[in-house]
């Protein structure tokens, strides 16, 4: 078992602030940001002024419910800079999301936004166990994606030595990792696993590495996959969450007790809402995460619908932080598959597959429409390809996966076991669902 790093807190005053005081600070900042949006962004002015909403009218945090939501298409419709609140001369960095369809969503940062960003990442990486003694390799793609540069400046702020390898060129990644004695990696969970697999394939002994922590994020990671990454690399893994529209990484992150990801509530007001009624759900119940940025100057967003599903907790955490915590993202309202009336999240399938003997962590879900029926095929990679010739064993394994999936999903799936290394690998976010329903007639 990898060792749990010591519990450290970067900004004690803020991170352990009594909740009542934090709520006061949030209210003051909410009033401010509402007026800032009205005064500097035409889109918000047009939306809020006719409704009579302004900072002065907001008396409690619950009054946020009167503010209309902002959605991804609002950013696209105002592409590229239409929602920026700061003057062009005050914008010092521009990023864009990696969206697969339509125009990307573009975000701009002022100097104070970048300073805040580095501060929030400093908190998150400290919570995940990083210190100034670490050498941290950033395996996210440097570029328009917020992940790499976001983590970069926060890690430098705490004094860690950053190795900006970016993604790709796996063999070189591993060489630097070994030769530099890298102690931490920043990556997606799927890339962390891929790096371990590549090290094995290249016959680089794992004992040559000095890795101790993995600061993983940007895509879902079930506990089962986390355990697998930890035991393969012998590292302690924490998860951190964010999205480019509201900043990038830095919204929330695990502490070393991993009781949920601590939210940076002095900068983000996070609601968890029933996805049908858009009313708040009770503590611990799943709902859509909706975020209001409380301090952003470049592109502030009011009640941004993330489409991510999680649950919030407010009870005490052994680490001493008082912040609200988010459960691991269960999925997105838009990656939830509805198959024969059953809601299926890829993360549920992953939790069944990862940790089973004989199969790797790489899988793909293919959904088809056959006649009037939706079908789910789960393609899973074998660790040992020779099993494909041992029909009896193969069938037994297929049956076991099918039964385990049925008990978790309440749905029958076709299980296809494939040779090692035949499912596509991803250096950024893994794409695990292929939905062909609109293509089959
Ligand atoms: O992925 C920001 C980020 C970079 C977060 C690096 C953490 C580390 P986008 O590319 O805009 O930004 O994608 C945002 O990714 O709405 C979630 O659906 C998903 N996501 C991000 N972090 C997690 C996580 C970055 N820890 C979208 N677990 C979000 C699950 C995550 N999903």
219-271 tens-digit pLDDT: 888 888 899 999 999 999 999 999 999 999 999 999 999 999 999 999 999 99
Query: Would you say 298 and 86 are in contact if contact means Cβ atoms under 8 Å apart?
Result: yes
- Structure confidence at residue 98 (pLDDT): 62
Above 80 in pLDDT, residue 372? no
Closest ligand 1 atom, CA of 248?
2
Q: Mean pLDDT across the stretch 158-168?
A: 95
| % of the chain residues with pLDDT over 70 | 98
Among 234, 235, 239, smallest CA distance to 222 is for 239
- Structure confidence at residue 66 (pLDDT): 97
Q: Mean pLDDT across the stretch 314-336?
A: 92
Q: Mean pLDDT across the stretch 167-175?
A: 91
- Structure confidence at residue 190 (pLDDT): 84
Residue 173: Cβ within 10 Å count: 24
Query: Would you say 286 and 332 are in contact if contact means Cβ atoms under 8 Å apart?
Result: no
Q: Which two tokens stand for residue 335?
A: 């990656």
Closest ligand 1 atom, CA of 261?
26
Residue 4: Cβ within 10 Å count: 11
Burial of 332 (0-12, 13-18, 19+ CB in 10 A): middle
- Tens digits of residue pLDDT in 385-429: 999 999 999 999 999 999 999 988 888 999 999 999 999 998 888
Residue indicated by tokens 């293919």: 366
| Ligand 1 center–CA 393 separation, angstroms | 39
Measured CA to CA, the distance from residue 17 to residue 377 in angstroms comes to 49
| Ligand 1 center–CA 336 separation, angstroms | 16
Q: Mean pLDDT across the stretch 350-373?
A: 88
Give the pocket of ligand 1 (CB within 6 Å).
Answer: 97-98, 146-147, 217-220, 239-244, 248-249, 306, 308, 329, 332
| Ligand 1 center–CA 188 separation, angstroms | 9
3-state secondary structure of 49: helix
Ligand 1 pocket, mutate which of 192, 216, 217, 328 (most atoms under 8 A from CB): 217
Measured CA to CA, the distance from residue 352 to residue 405 in angstroms comes to 6
- What mean pLDDT is reported for the chain? 93
Query: Would you say 140 and 166 are in contact if contact means Cβ atoms under 8 Å apart?
Result: yes
pTM beyond 0.85:
yes
Above 60 in pLDDT, residue 100? no
Measured CA to CA, the distance from residue 165 to residue 370 in angstroms comes to 45
Closest ligand 1 atom, CA of 307?
16
Above 70 in pLDDT, residue 441? no
The count of C-alpha atoms lying within 13 angstroms of the C-alpha of 207, restricted to the half-sphere facing its C-beta, is: 0
Above 90 in pLDDT, residue 337? no
Q: What is the 3-state secondary structure (H, E, C) of 244-306?
A: HHHCEEEEEECCCCCCCEEECCCCEEEEEECCCCCCECCCCCCEEEEEEECCCCCCCCCCEEE
């Amino acid at each position: 078992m990898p060792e749990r790093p010591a519990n450290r807190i970067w900004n004690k005053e803020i991170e352990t602030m009594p909740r009542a005081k934090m709520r006061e600070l949030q209210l003051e900042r909410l009033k401010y940001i509402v007026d800032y949006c009205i005064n500097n962004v035409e889109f918000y002015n047009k939306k809020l002024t006719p409704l009579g909403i302004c900072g002065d009218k907001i008396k409690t945090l619950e009054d946020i419910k009167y503010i209309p939501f902002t959605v991804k298409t609002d950013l696209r419709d105002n592409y590229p800079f239409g929602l920026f609140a700061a003057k062009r001369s005050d914008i010092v960095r521009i990023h864009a999301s990696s969206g697969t369809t339509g125009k990307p969503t573009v975000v701009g940062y002022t100097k104070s936004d970048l300073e805040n960003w580095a501060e929030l990442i400093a908190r998150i990486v400290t919570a995940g166990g990083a210190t100034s003694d670490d050498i941290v390799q950033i395996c996210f793609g440097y570029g328009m994606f917020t992940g790499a540069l976001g983590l970069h400046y926060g890690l430098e702020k705490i004094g860690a030595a950053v190795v900006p390898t970016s993604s790709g060129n796996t063999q070189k990644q591993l060489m630097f990792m070994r030769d530099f004695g890298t102690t931490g990696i920043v990556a997606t969970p799927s890339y962390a696993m891929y790096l371990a697999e590549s090290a094995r394939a290249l016959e680089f002994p794992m004992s040559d590495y000095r890795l101790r922590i993995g600061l993983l994020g940007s895509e879902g990671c079930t506990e089962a996959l986390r355990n697998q990454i930890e035991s393969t690399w012998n590292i302690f893994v924490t998860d951190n969450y964010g999205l480019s529209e509201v900043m990038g990484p830095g919204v929330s992150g695990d502490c070393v007790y991993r009781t949920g990801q601590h939210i940076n509530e002095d900068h983000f007001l996070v609601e968890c809402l029933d996805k049908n009624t858009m009313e708040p759900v009770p503590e611990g119940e799943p709902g859509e995460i909706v975020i209001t940025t409380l301090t952003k100057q470049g592109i502030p967003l009011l009640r941004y619908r993330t489409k991510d599903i999680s649950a919030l907790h407010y009870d005490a955490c052994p680490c001493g932080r008082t912040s609200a915590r988010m459960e691991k993202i269960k999925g997105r309202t838009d990656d939830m598959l509805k198959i024969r009336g059953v809601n299926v999240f890829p993360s549920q399938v992953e939790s069944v597959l990862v940790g089973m003997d004989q199969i790797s962590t790489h899988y793909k879900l293919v959904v088809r429409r056959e006649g009037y029926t939706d079908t789910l095929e789960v393609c899973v990679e074998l660790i040992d390809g020779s099993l494909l010739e041992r029909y009896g064993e193969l069938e037994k394994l297929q049956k076991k996966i099918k039964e385990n999936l049925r008990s978790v999903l309440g749905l029958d799936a076709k299980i296809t076991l494939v040779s090692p290394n035949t499912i596509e690998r991803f250096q950024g976010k893994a794409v695990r669902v292929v939905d062909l329903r609109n293509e089959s007639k």
